[in-house]
């Protein structure tokens, strides 16, 4: 497959990629794109990041930021020279050293990252604390409902940009795919809060951008996406997959997503626009199982297909993906923003494995109870 | 591994930015991300496709590429185009729509159909509608590709499209003659069927293809022979004038109240495009030859559809209910290729190169297009035609499903 080789592949260090995609429009005169270009050249030497005098350092607030996307996004923003504050309840440490992150980089980051401690559901607190700080830009990574965004908008009348992490889950299920930003959305979906937030933002007149990821993966993922497969592969267990296994889904690496979030910062082409952000290619459930095996250096797994209707799993989820086709076109982001994913699927899963599961870390303990129900029955009927 | 094509580095379109150059020229670069010269790809600089501002769907495709550098080659010039067209099969319709679209844009068109004007094949669509090409100012001739020098003695064309050959033996006479007579641009209708199956759809330009496929041989020969060439890889098509059944297969069953047997899960994704998406893509390539040069274009619409989805859309277009029945062809002992008109697997390509390089946008709208198709289906009386459904019956029998819903 002909593909651009991501810069980080040229070193053996599995660490965090500082690549920013080049933003350019034809005239190339925009300050921001020039900054990106200079930085990109500087990035050949990892860590030797120079922030040119022409950069405009912004006062940025991230709602959340200590769990997954925000961990990578905040680092990119700090590296770009912005002042970055994380609004969290303080349950998790504000800065934790990433696997593969050098002591030097971590020390730099943790010395610069700021914390605003609070509960975003306390709208009075949100309003007063935010207006006191006067942030230029807000990245809302963990917002689910429109009401959570109201006090932010009220608190910051001069807000330059509000970037929202929405979800491709808002799209109405369709037989015609991929989902594109212009497609019908489902006002009854599980993600309707995201939709309502997007509509709310539109109604306020603020300069908003909405990012709709599909399934996100990468080191430190707290959603058991790749982890679900890795547990089974490590245990040498067959992988139970519902129905045909040809359902098509799409994974996007968290680092590519973080880069997309950076790419929209101060970008007028992103103003009041929605962008699907995920990987270049889609993958079938069966293909994903095999890709995870490749990534972790496991032998090709045995796949067991089953009819979910024949089982009662109680409240447990037997499989981490929606049992349907679910994928979105990233053409708009590629064409309008000049962003593109650096990781292809196996590369990205390998990155996740080498920095996380492969080091013995994971978020959820293995739970094979639903597998055993399936495998037990399928052995009987075989 | 990847049987990818190298675009000749000397061609104008192969200017890839070395990592020390900021892309100040808007010209031909983004194509290189999809074009396969390995040395060009060693540059780690990510070429920004944002050079071509992606229009909102409301803007026209030509508005998307609004650079003055392009003006000389963009739609101003009228071309003399030769279409060498197959005389049967699913691709027949491509030449028909392409001819009409070119004529509509003021170009000069000759369509050379393989075989004889008087043959029985010419009684079927689109050939029985070639008068439409003539009345639009086009010329229709007949002959065999090895005789092309005789059939078109003394003629020269700016652009030659081979929409006939499936391998080099069939295309070579046309290609060689085009080269000898100084054609500036050579285009070929290949097939998305040459992509190697993948677990990571969709097929995108640059993905590995089956080395043994005849079309691949043609693509390689074109790249060696012409400085300006492009290859178009289509899938399934609908449209008035189609030579091969597509949606009709579903309509036949739906109007007769018969179940629609679909092999496998019905979740297989495929691409069914209106023929005008292909003609618009080809026309853009003719009008933007430098941009198109050295490229492969998946000639498909912007959306894929599942097999079940297609059945449902056909039923909706007909205003009738549908019962879909799934079966395992092997278990029943039926050849799925004979029993069903589409591949029993994901067969899904996306038109990324055309969108990015030509600024092309698709207009296929299956729900709407199928309504038109159904109207014509009824108009020609096909809904009343007596038909046998032997293979269907065999399948339904094996599944113990009644033939009439």
Say which of A176, A243, A287 has its CB closest to residue B303.
A176
Across the interface, do A325 and B267 touch by the CB < 8 Å criterion?
yes
Q: Does B36 touch chain A (CB under 8 A)?
A: yes
> Which chain A residues are closer than 8 Å to B51 by Cβ?
24-26, 338
Q: What is the pLDDT along chain B (405 residues), one digit of tens a residue?
A: 434 444 443 333 333 333 333 333 333 333 333 333 333 333 333 333 333 334 444 434 444 433 433 433 455 789 999 999 999 999 999 999 999 999 999 999 999 999 999 999 999 999 999 999 999 999 999 999 999 999 999 999 999 999 999 999 999 999 999 999 999 999 999 999 999 999 999 999 999 999 999 999 999 999 999 999 999 999 999 999 999 999 999 999 999 999 999 999 999 999 999 999 999 999 999 999 999 999 999 999 999 999 999 999 999 999 999 999 999 999 999 999 999 999 999 999 999 999 999 999 999 999 999 999 999 999 999 999 999 999 999 999 999 888 776
Give phi and psi for B149, each to the nearest 5: -65, -30
Instruction: Please report how the helices A226-234 and A345-355 are oriented relative to each other, as an axis angle in degrees rounded to 10.
Output: 70
By DSSP bridging, strand A176-177 and strand B304-306 are antiparallel
Across the interface, do A175 and B306 touch by the CB < 8 Å criterion?
yes
Q: What angle do CA A210, A213, A217 make, to 5 degrees?
A: 145
**Nearest-CA distance from B266 to chain A in Å?**
10
Does A322 have pLDDT greater than 80? Answer: yes
Reported as a single tens digit per residue, the pLDDT across A159-183 is 999 999 999 999 999 999 999 999 9
Query: CA-to-CA distance for A31 and A180, rounded, in angstroms?
Result: 30
With 0-12 / 13-18 / 19 or more C-beta atoms within 10 angstroms meaning exposed / middle / buried, residue B62 is middle
pTM for the model = 0.83
Query: H/E element holding A60?
Result: strand A59-63
List B residues 46-75 in contact with A (Cβ-Cβ < 8 A).
Answer: 46, 48-54, 57, 67
Identify any residues that bridge with A215 across adjacent strands, giving them in sequence order.
Answer: A251
- Contact between A295 and A346 under an 8 Å Cβ cutoff? The reply is yes
With 0-12 / 13-18 / 19 or more C-beta atoms within 10 angstroms meaning exposed / middle / buried, residue A376 is exposed
Reported as a single tens digit per residue, the pLDDT across A3-42 is 444 444 334 444 444 333 333 333 333 344 444 444 444 4
Q: Does B41 touch chain A (CB under 8 A)?
A: yes
Chain B residue with the nearest C-alpha to that of A284: B199
> Which chain A residues are closer than 8 Å to B46 by Cβ?
4, 21-22, 338, 340
Query: CA-to-CA distance for A372 and A377, rounded, in angstroms?
Result: 8
Closest to B84 in 3D by CA, of B144, B12, B38, B137: B144
Which tokens hold the place of A369? Answer: 């109870």
Which tokens hold the place of A147? Answer: 């009401």
Under DSSP, the state recorded for B45 is: S
Say which of B38, B52, B269 has its CB closest to residue A335.
B52
Could you tell me the maximum CA-CA distance found in chain A, to the nearest angstrom?
70
ipTM: 0.83
């Amino acid at each position: 497959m002909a593909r651009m080789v991501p810069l980080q592949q040229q070193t053996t260090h599995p660490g965090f990629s500082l690549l920013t995609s080049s933003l350019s429009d034809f005239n190339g005169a925009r300050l921001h794109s020039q900054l990106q270009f200079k930085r990109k050249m500087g990035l050949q030497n990892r860590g030797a990041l120079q922030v040119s005098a022409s950069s405009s350092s912004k006062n940025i607030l991230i709602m959340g930021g200590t769990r997954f996307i925000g961990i990578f996004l905040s680092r990119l923003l700090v590296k770009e020279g912005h002042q970055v504050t994380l609004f969290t309840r303080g349950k998790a440490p504000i800065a934790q050293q990433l696997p593969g992150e050098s002591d030097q980089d971590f020390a730099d980051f943790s010395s610069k990252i700021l914390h605003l401690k609070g509960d975003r559901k306390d709208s009075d607190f949100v309003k007063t604390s935010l207006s006191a700080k006067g942030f230029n830009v807000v990245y809302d990574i963990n917002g689910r409902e429109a009401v959570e965004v109201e006090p932010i908008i009220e608190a910051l009348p001069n807000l330059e940009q509000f970037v929202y992490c929405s979800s491709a889950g808002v799209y109405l299920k369709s037989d015609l795919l991929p989902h594109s930003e212009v497609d019908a959305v489902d006002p009854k979906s599980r993600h309707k809060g995201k939709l309502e937030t997007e509509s709310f933002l539109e109604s306020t007149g603020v300069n908003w951008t909405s990012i709709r990821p599909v399934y996100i993966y990468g080191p430190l993922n707290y959603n058991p996406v790749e982890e679900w497969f890795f547990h089974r592969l490590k245990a040498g267990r067959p992988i139970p997959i519902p129905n045909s296994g040809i359902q098509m889904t799409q994974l996007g690496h968290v680092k590519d997503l973080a880069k997309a979030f950076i790419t929209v910062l101060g970008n007028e082409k992103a103003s009041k626009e929605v962008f699907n952000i995920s990987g270049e290619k889609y993958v079938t459930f069966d293909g994903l199982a095999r890709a995870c095996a490749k990534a972790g250096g496991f032998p090709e797994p045995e796949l067991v297909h089953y009819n979910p209707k024949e089982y009662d799993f109680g409240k447990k989820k037997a499989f981490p993906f929606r049992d349907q086709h679910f994928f979105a076109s990233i053409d708009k982001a590629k064409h309008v923003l000049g962003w593109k994913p650096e990781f292809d699927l196996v590369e990205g899963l390998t990155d996740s494995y080498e920095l996380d599961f492969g080091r013995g870390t994971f978020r959820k303990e293995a739970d094979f109870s639903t597998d055993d129900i399936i495998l037990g029955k399928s052995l009987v009927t075989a | 591994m990847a049987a990818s094509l190298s675009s000749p580095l000397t061609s104008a379109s192969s200017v890839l930015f070395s990592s020390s150059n900021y892309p100040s020229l808007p010209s031909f670069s983004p194509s290189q991300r999809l074009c396969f010269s390995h040395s060009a790809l060693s540059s780690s600089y990510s070429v920004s496709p944002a050079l071509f501002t992606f229009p909102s769907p409301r803007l026209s495709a030509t508005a998307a590429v609004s650079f003055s550098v392009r003006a000389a080659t963009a739609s101003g010039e009228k071309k003399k185009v030769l279409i060498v067209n197959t005389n049967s099969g699913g691709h027949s319709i491509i030449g028909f729509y392409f001819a009409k679209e070119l004529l509509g844009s003021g170009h000069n068109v000759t369509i050379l159909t393989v075989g004889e004007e008087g043959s029985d094949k010419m009684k079927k669509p689109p050939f029985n509608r070639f008068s439409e090409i003539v009345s639009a100012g086009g010329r229709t001739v007949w002959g065999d590709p090895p005789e092309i020098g005789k059939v078109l003695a003394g003629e020269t064309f700016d652009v030659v499209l081979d929409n006939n050959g499936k391998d080099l033996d069939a295309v070579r006479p046309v290609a060689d003659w085009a080269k000898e007579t100084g054609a500036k641009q050579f285009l070929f209708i290949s097939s998305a069927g040459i992509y190697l199956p993948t677990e990571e759809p969709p097929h995108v330009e640059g993905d590995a293809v089956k080395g043994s496929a005849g079309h691949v041989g043609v693509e390689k020969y074109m790249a060696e022979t012409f400085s300006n060439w492009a290859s178009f890889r289509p899938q399934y098509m609908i449209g008035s004038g189609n030579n091969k059944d597509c949606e009709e297969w579903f309509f036949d069953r739906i109007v007769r109240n018969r179940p629609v047997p679909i092999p496998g899960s019905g979740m297989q994704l495929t691409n069914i495009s209106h023929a005008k998406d292909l003609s618009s893509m080809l026309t853009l390539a003719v009008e933007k030859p430098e941009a198109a040069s050295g490229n492969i274009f998946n000639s498909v619409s912007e959306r894929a559809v599942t097999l079940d989805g297609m059945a449902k859309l056909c039923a909706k277009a007909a205003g009738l209910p549908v019962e879909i029945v799934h079966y395992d062809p092997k278990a029943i002992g039926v050849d799925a290729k004979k029993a069903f008109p589409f591949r029993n697997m994901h067969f899904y390509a996306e038109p990324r190169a055309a969108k990015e390089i030509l600024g092309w946008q698709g207009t296929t709208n299956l729900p709407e297009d199928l309504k038109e198709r159904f109207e014509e289906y009824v108009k020609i009386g096909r809904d009343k035609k007596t038909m046998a459904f032997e293979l269907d019956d065999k399948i339904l029998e094996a599944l113990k499903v009644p033939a009439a819903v």
